Structure 1
Amino acid sequence: MQEPSPDAGRPTLFAALHLRNYRLFFAGQVVSNTGTWMQRIAQDWLVLQLTNSPLAVGITTALQFLPMMLFGLWGGLLADRYPKRTLLMITQTVMLLLAAILATLALTGLVEVWHVYVIALGLGMATVVDNPARQTFVNEMVPRELVRNAVSLNSGNFQLARLVGPAVAGVLISAVGSGWAFAINAVSYLAVLAGLALMRTSELTPSTLARRGPGQLREALQYVRTRPRLLWPIVLVFFVGTFGYNFAIILSAYTKDVFNSGADVFGLLNTALAAGSVVGALIAARATTARLAVLFAAAAGVGLLLILLGLTPWFVPFVALLVITGLVSVLFNTLGNSTVQLSTDPELRGRVMSLYMLVFMGGTPIGSIVVGAITEAWGAPFALVVSGSVCLVAALAAGVLAARRAGLTVHVDLHRGVEHHLEIVHRS
């Protein structure tokens, strides 16, 4: 499948919002994502209060993402087989009920850490289907030429919520406790359900549904393996998603152990990360194409920034670096996501995107436990340096392997008396 040519008209920043169905979807997501981020911050802080253990925070995160690792591909298969709008209405209702249960337990003072574990696992099960359905539903709401723009706006939407949600959650937790953050999140799902219900179905372009048949998961894996524009973004996102996106663990530990502060500073650190993320998503929204070299560079940039964060013990420089880290990490993820979607045939898109999300979110249980254990044993700064080093080495190694598979070699002339130069040669 061909990418749009680089000379194709560049979309305006908010081009996809001119379409009514996408506007409804976007508006519902603004409200719901804000509630989701409030719950994430409140959930992590509640677990830390109940256990005083960064490892317990890592276990909670791991349980929430474990279902994606185990069942992610089957979720993508369901998204290929059934109408995505219907699936989203089911999954959003389930998430609403789970948030309401957690709110009730917290507000009545009955909550225990195992309750949080079970509800995190339940949210993970719903996400298995919700994520590929939501990611690929974009292709039914907007024409192909606006898919990258819509994906970037979705990411900006998510990061804007990440900007507002933690700040509100920090104030709310300090004032009245975690329970109200969970309650607000439960109500926020009504905005998504209302947006889906109000859509004009005649203006949607439903994807071709996959028929039942043997070997459908194997077909998707083989499809990805033979296409570099799918394979390398998925390889990169595994390492960055597993080791680079454990900010819930790292920032809660930094707040408590490095900066000796409370929920308000925890919210501020998450807000700084999100501020950069919003800028990164807006930059990506204007992009018409994304070369693989850009994705490799962005992945290496995430790793380098994490190392710099781990070596920065001062609050103000740490916050400034968090903003830049948010920008680069979201630029990497958004361009990778849209590249995979645009390079995939419609009847396989759900399975391919579920594989993308599987390695992105499914690796999180591994990374959360590893990073949580390192944080508890040697501290958050050391954990950041280790995480960044893994991402940086993985990006460089993947770049070299990709170049070799493409038939590129690097030749450096170091003969005496001759001007040194570097030459890239394509092997026949």
Structure 2
Amino acid sequence: MVRTGQPRGREARSGAWSVPGFGPLWLSHTADAWAVSLLPAAVTLALVHRGEGAGALGVVLAAKTLGFVVATVPGGMIADRWSRPGAMTLACLVRAAAAAMLPIALLGPGWAAAGCVLLAGAGEGVFRPSYQAMVGDVVPEPQRQSANALSTISFRLALVLAPGMATTMTLWTGSWTVLLLTTVLWGLAALAVLRLPSRRAHPHDTESILGQFRSGVREARRHRWFVAGLLMLVVVLSAGEASQLVLLPVISRDRFGTEVVYAAALTTYSIGALTGGAVMTRWIPRRPGLVAVIGLALYAGIPLALAFSWVVWPVLVAYFVAGVGMELFNVPWFGAVQREVDPALRARVSSLDFLVSYSMSPLGLVLLPIAVSSWGMQSVLVGTTVVVLVAGAASLTVPGMPRFHTPPNRRGPHHRSDRTPRPIPGDAARQASGGRASPT
């Protein structure tokens, strides 16, 4: 039976909490999200307290992104070939060690702190694709949208609340207490997944490292909707997000006469994202790809409002709507990867998703100021709006995009449905007698 990804009935309504194993997995993800959000704030405040300038701050914090980009693809291959719970545990333990060393590293040369932060970023690069693949392993398809929505809600809450918590703790007791807390959180995240089942290996898991990478790329290319959605995401992150990160602070100061608008807009965006995540815990659209593209296209409202609004409230509305739209994209997108991609290649394809979106987004930060100096701020903002909308409309012309569905004739030779148990080599007698192979 062709799976179109629209789970219905009692299973979908019961939610992810009814699935054994999701609780520990979600706990690991939530503890990780808080640690990931606390660490940059603690390091920044510690460096500022030391009297370091913007150059030192930039180098140390850029090390986290560099570590993520470098490690995410190898991390996906490790998770697919070895053990996804093992990869998550290793990633957490490495970061716990890095956080534990940071109080000493921050007293020494800048490269020592940068090295610890680099390890933290690399651990995140391994953890995130492993987690996305594990959700597909542990949670049946009808409950996956709920699982992905709960995951994004916990991540957004940490992203919003952790910096304030880190600042308060640093002012009261010093940055070392925040780093100690991150160490404990990563230790908890590692312990939470230790007893979760590992995926059984496929015969083609014996490929070389280069062969594994090629398998992931081939699998990603088979899903045309994945390529189209990723290209649209790159456009939004490199063009749309650059407009808010580069131009919003300037517009807030010059047009509205206060930096409060900048802070209020980012807060409103986070509230919108939390709202979008809450909506997606229950709403299962019939055309998840269409909903996702419309949600991502809502980002066009940000540059449009920044271009023409001379009062604050349309800007705040645009940020709220864009936040909702981002989760209307994220939740069905992660679910589609978990549903449509070969289970043995999920982590690799997820890692390619993170690699492309993270590594391409800084391009807009570089190009936007050049474009503004050449054509003016308003023209660039209007152009950004048009580019985001055109990218969304173009992506919907790709076969399979409205439903995030790959036709059976484009699936790989090793692809197996999530609902079909995978035979275990040497276990034919037990299966013949009524035993069940471990799924995925």
Partner of 1:224: 220
Are the equivalent residues in 1 in contact too, given 2:85–2:134 (CA < 8 A)?
yes
Q: What does residue range 18-33 of structure 1 map to in structure 2 within 5 Å?
A: 18-33=18-33
**C-alpha distance after superposition, 1:145-182 (max 9, x if no partner):** 22222122111111122232133234345555544433
| Aligned counterpart, 1:85 | 85
Give the structure, 1 or 2, with the largest relative contact order (CA under 8 Å, sep 6 or more): 1
Residue pair 1:138, 1:150 contacting (<8 A) in 2 also: yes
2:284 corresponds to 1:288: yes
- Written as runs of structure 1 = structure 2, the 5 A alignment for 1:158-169 is 158-169=155-166
Summarize the Cα distance change of 1:11–1:236 in structure 2 as closer, same or farther, 3 Å threshold.
farther
In 2, Cα distance between the equivalents of 1:104 and 1:252? 37
Equivalences for 1:27-426 in 2 at 5 Å? 27-43=27-43, 53=54, 62-106=62-106, 110=107, 114-173=111-170, 175=172, 178-197=175-194, 199=195, 201=196, 204=197, 206=199, 208-209=201-202, 210-214=204-208, 215-245=211-241, 271-289=267-285, 290-309=287-306, 321-367=318-364, 390=384, 393-397=387-391, 399-400=393-394, 402-403=396-397
Contact 1:132 1:350 in 2 (8 A): yes
Counterpart of 1:73, as a letter, is: V
SS of equivalent to 1:288 = coil
Kindly provide the CA deviation profile for residues 167-217 of structure 1, in whole angstroms up to 9, marking residues without a partner as x: 3234345555544433322222122123123x4x4xx47254452225332
Against the structure 1 CA distance between its residues 80 and 165, is the aligned structure 2 distance closer, same or farther, given a 3 Å change threshold?
same
| Residues 12, 143 of structure 2: 8 Å contact kept | no
Change (3 A) 1:300 1:169: same
Q: Distance in 2 between matches of 1:206 and 1:405?
A: 31
- The alignment of Structure 1 onto Structure 2 pairs a total of residues equal to 393
Residue 237 of structure 1 aligns with an amino acid whose one-letter code is: L
Instruction: Using structure 1 for the length normalisation, give the TM-score.
Output: 0.75
Q: TM-score, normalised by structure 2?
A: 0.73
Paired residue type of 2:394? V
Q: Name the amino acid aligned to 1:358.
A: L
CA distance in 1, matches of 2:36, 2:205: 34
Contact 2:7 2:141 in 1 (8 A): no
Which range moved further: 396-405 or 124-133? Answer: 396-405
Q: What's the CA shift for 1:261?
A: 6.6
Conserved in 1, the CA contact under 8 Å of 2:87 and 2:126? yes
Question: Which segments of 5 or more consecutive residues in structure 1 lack a partner in the other structure?
Answer: 409-428
CA distance in 2, matches of 1:252, 1:183: 34
Identity of aligned residues (%): 19
Residues 302 and 315 of structure 2 are in contact (CA less than 8 Å); yes or no, is this contact kept in structure 1? Answer: no
Amino acid at match of 1:21: G
Q: Which amino acid aligns with 2:78?
A: L
In the TM superposition, residue 85 of structure 1 has moved relative to its aligned partner by: 0.7
Change (3 A) 1:292 1:182: same
